[in-house]
Amino acid sequence: MKRIFAAVKIELQPAIHKLFQQLKQHLSADKIKWVEEENLHITLKFFGETPEDKVEAIAVALKQITTTLPFEIAFGQLGIFGSSYNPRVVWLGIEDGGNLSNLSERIKEIVVPLGFPNDRQNFVPHLTLGRINALTDKPHFQHVIDRYRTNPFEKQETDKFILYESILTPTGPKYKIIETYKF
Protein backbone atom coordinates (compact mmCIF):
# COMPACT_ATOMS: atom_id res chain seq x y z
CA MET A 1 0.00 0.00 0.00
CA LYS A 2 1.11 3.51 -0.81
CA ARG A 3 -0.41 6.75 0.43
CA ILE A 4 -0.79 8.85 -2.73
CA PHE A 5 -2.20 12.12 -4.00
CA ALA A 6 -2.17 14.31 -7.12
CA ALA A 7 -1.08 17.92 -6.68
CA VAL A 8 0.43 21.05 -8.16
CA LYS A 9 3.81 21.88 -6.61
CA ILE A 10 4.17 25.43 -5.33
CA GLU A 11 7.36 27.46 -5.34
CA LEU A 12 7.05 30.34 -2.89
CA GLN A 13 7.20 33.74 -4.53
CA PRO A 14 8.98 36.56 -2.56
CA ALA A 15 5.93 38.25 -0.96
CA ILE A 16 4.34 34.90 -0.06
CA HIS A 17 7.65 33.65 1.36
CA LYS A 18 7.85 36.81 3.50
CA LEU A 19 4.24 36.32 4.69
CA PHE A 20 4.98 32.70 5.60
CA GLN A 21 8.07 33.69 7.62
CA GLN A 22 6.18 36.49 9.41
CA LEU A 23 3.34 34.15 10.34
CA LYS A 24 5.77 31.61 11.76
CA GLN A 25 7.52 34.35 13.75
CA HIS A 26 4.36 36.02 15.12
CA LEU A 27 2.73 32.69 16.00
CA SER A 28 5.85 30.97 17.35
CA ALA A 29 4.32 30.54 20.84
CA ASP A 30 1.49 28.47 19.36
CA LYS A 31 1.69 24.79 18.54
CA ILE A 32 1.35 24.93 14.77
CA LYS A 33 2.91 22.31 12.49
CA TRP A 34 4.06 24.47 9.60
CA VAL A 35 4.35 22.80 6.22
CA GLU A 36 7.95 22.46 5.05
CA GLU A 37 8.52 24.81 2.12
CA GLU A 38 9.67 21.97 -0.13
CA ASN A 39 6.35 20.20 0.55
CA LEU A 40 4.03 23.09 -0.36
CA HIS A 41 1.42 21.96 -2.87
CA ILE A 42 -2.21 22.30 -3.88
CA THR A 43 -3.92 18.92 -3.58
CA LEU A 44 -6.06 18.04 -6.58
CA LYS A 45 -7.08 14.54 -5.46
CA PHE A 46 -6.12 12.59 -2.32
CA PHE A 47 -6.28 8.84 -2.90
CA GLY A 48 -5.09 7.72 0.54
CA GLU A 49 -3.74 4.22 1.14
CA THR A 50 -3.74 2.61 -2.28
CA PRO A 51 -2.74 -0.92 -3.36
CA GLU A 52 0.43 -0.86 -5.47
CA ASP A 53 -1.26 -2.33 -8.56
CA LYS A 54 -3.81 0.51 -8.46
CA VAL A 55 -1.01 3.09 -8.11
CA GLU A 56 0.34 1.99 -11.50
CA ALA A 57 -3.15 2.04 -13.02
CA ILE A 58 -3.71 5.59 -11.69
CA ALA A 59 -0.33 6.73 -13.03
CA VAL A 60 -1.24 5.40 -16.50
CA ALA A 61 -4.82 6.78 -16.42
CA LEU A 62 -3.66 10.29 -15.56
CA LYS A 63 -1.68 10.40 -18.80
CA GLN A 64 -5.06 10.92 -20.51
CA ILE A 65 -5.08 14.52 -19.27
CA THR A 66 -3.31 16.17 -22.18
CA THR A 67 -5.45 19.08 -23.31
CA THR A 68 -4.77 21.38 -20.35
CA LEU A 69 -2.67 24.42 -21.18
CA PRO A 70 -0.25 26.07 -18.72
CA PHE A 71 -2.05 28.56 -16.49
CA GLU A 72 -1.42 31.08 -13.74
CA ILE A 73 -2.24 30.60 -10.09
CA ALA A 74 -2.79 33.81 -8.10
CA PHE A 75 -2.33 33.65 -4.34
CA GLY A 76 -5.10 35.44 -2.50
CA GLN A 77 -6.35 35.91 1.03
CA LEU A 78 -5.10 34.24 4.18
CA GLY A 79 -7.72 32.17 5.96
CA ILE A 80 -8.44 29.39 8.41
CA PHE A 81 -10.40 26.16 8.29
CA GLY A 82 -12.41 25.55 11.41
CA SER A 83 -14.07 28.29 13.42
CA SER A 84 -12.41 31.30 15.02
CA TYR A 85 -13.00 29.46 18.32
CA ASN A 86 -11.41 26.26 17.09
CA PRO A 87 -9.17 26.95 14.08
CA ARG A 88 -7.54 23.84 12.59
CA VAL A 89 -5.63 24.95 9.48
CA VAL A 90 -3.97 28.17 8.29
CA TRP A 91 -4.20 28.46 4.51
CA LEU A 92 -3.71 30.81 1.61
CA GLY A 93 -6.49 31.11 -0.94
CA ILE A 94 -5.91 30.49 -4.64
CA GLU A 95 -7.52 32.21 -7.60
CA ASP A 96 -7.03 30.35 -10.85
CA GLY A 97 -10.03 31.21 -12.98
CA GLY A 98 -11.35 27.67 -12.58
CA ASN A 99 -8.30 25.90 -14.04
CA LEU A 100 -7.42 24.02 -10.83
CA SER A 101 -11.06 23.08 -10.24
CA ASN A 102 -11.38 21.77 -13.80
CA LEU A 103 -8.13 19.81 -13.48
CA SER A 104 -9.26 18.33 -10.15
CA GLU A 105 -12.60 17.30 -11.67
CA ARG A 106 -10.91 15.67 -14.67
CA ILE A 107 -8.62 13.67 -12.37
CA LYS A 108 -11.59 12.54 -10.28
CA GLU A 109 -13.53 11.48 -13.39
CA ILE A 110 -10.62 9.53 -14.86
CA VAL A 111 -10.09 7.42 -11.72
CA VAL A 112 -13.76 6.49 -11.13
CA PRO A 113 -13.44 3.33 -13.32
CA LEU A 114 -10.42 2.31 -11.19
CA GLY A 115 -12.56 2.10 -8.07
CA PHE A 116 -12.20 5.64 -6.73
CA PRO A 117 -15.71 7.08 -6.52
CA ASN A 118 -16.04 10.79 -7.09
CA ASP A 119 -16.27 12.39 -3.67
CA ARG A 120 -18.98 14.96 -3.26
CA GLN A 121 -16.83 17.44 -1.36
CA ASN A 122 -16.44 20.73 -3.19
CA PHE A 123 -12.91 21.48 -4.32
CA VAL A 124 -11.57 24.60 -2.57
CA PRO A 125 -8.21 25.56 -4.10
CA HIS A 126 -5.91 26.52 -1.24
CA LEU A 127 -2.36 26.24 -0.03
CA THR A 128 -2.11 24.75 3.45
CA LEU A 129 0.54 26.62 5.43
CA GLY A 130 0.12 25.04 8.86
CA ARG A 131 -1.97 22.69 10.96
CA ILE A 132 -2.95 24.01 14.38
CA ASN A 133 -2.46 21.70 17.35
CA ALA A 134 -2.97 24.24 20.17
CA LEU A 135 -3.12 28.02 20.57
CA THR A 136 -1.71 29.80 23.61
CA ASP A 137 -3.62 33.04 22.97
CA LYS A 138 -6.62 32.87 20.63
CA PRO A 139 -7.19 36.66 20.49
CA HIS A 140 -3.51 37.14 19.49
CA PHE A 141 -3.83 34.40 16.85
CA GLN A 142 -6.96 36.03 15.39
CA HIS A 143 -5.26 39.44 15.43
CA VAL A 144 -2.29 38.05 13.45
CA ILE A 145 -4.57 36.32 10.93
CA ASP A 146 -6.65 39.50 10.51
CA ARG A 147 -3.49 41.59 10.13
CA TYR A 148 -2.23 39.43 7.26
CA ARG A 149 -5.61 38.42 5.82
CA THR A 150 -5.19 40.50 2.67
CA ASN A 151 -1.83 40.26 0.96
CA PRO A 152 -0.32 41.54 -2.20
CA PHE A 153 -1.25 39.11 -4.94
CA GLU A 154 1.52 37.12 -6.51
CA LYS A 155 1.26 34.70 -9.37
CA GLN A 156 2.91 31.48 -10.36
CA GLU A 157 2.60 29.78 -13.71
CA THR A 158 2.12 26.05 -13.65
CA ASP A 159 2.61 23.69 -16.55
CA LYS A 160 2.30 20.35 -14.78
CA PHE A 161 0.83 18.33 -11.95
CA ILE A 162 2.44 15.50 -10.02
CA LEU A 163 1.37 12.15 -8.61
CA TYR A 164 3.09 11.83 -5.23
CA GLU A 165 3.61 9.16 -2.63
CA SER A 166 3.41 10.53 0.91
CA ILE A 167 5.70 8.68 3.29
CA LEU A 168 4.85 9.47 6.90
CA THR A 169 7.87 9.80 9.20
CA PRO A 170 8.28 10.95 12.83
CA THR A 171 9.65 14.28 11.55
CA GLY A 172 6.81 14.83 9.09
CA PRO A 173 5.75 13.62 5.64
CA LYS A 174 8.25 13.07 2.85
CA TYR A 175 6.93 13.32 -0.69
CA LYS A 176 8.25 11.08 -3.44
CA ILE A 177 7.35 11.80 -7.06
CA ILE A 178 5.71 8.83 -8.79
CA GLU A 179 4.96 10.60 -12.10
CA THR A 180 4.97 14.14 -13.51
CA TYR A 181 2.34 15.18 -16.05
CA LYS A 182 3.27 18.15 -18.27
CA PHE A 183 0.50 20.19 -19.90
Residues 107 and 6: beta-carbon distance below 8 Å? yes
| Active-site annotation holds for 41 | yes
Question: Which is the catalytic residue, given 17, 41, 140, 143?
Answer: 41
Q: Under 8 Å CB-to-CB from 5, ≥6 apart: which residues? A: 43, 44, 45, 46, 47, 163, 164, 166
Q: In what order do the strands lie in the sheet with 87-95?
A: 31-34, 126-134, 87-95, 71-82, 154-158
| Known active-site residue 126 | yes
Calculated CA dihedral for residues 30, 32, 36, 40, nearest 10 degrees? -130
Q: How far is CA 129 from the centre of its chain?
A: 9
Angle at 92 between CA 106 and CA 112, to 5 degrees: 20
Which residues are known to be catalytic?
41, 126
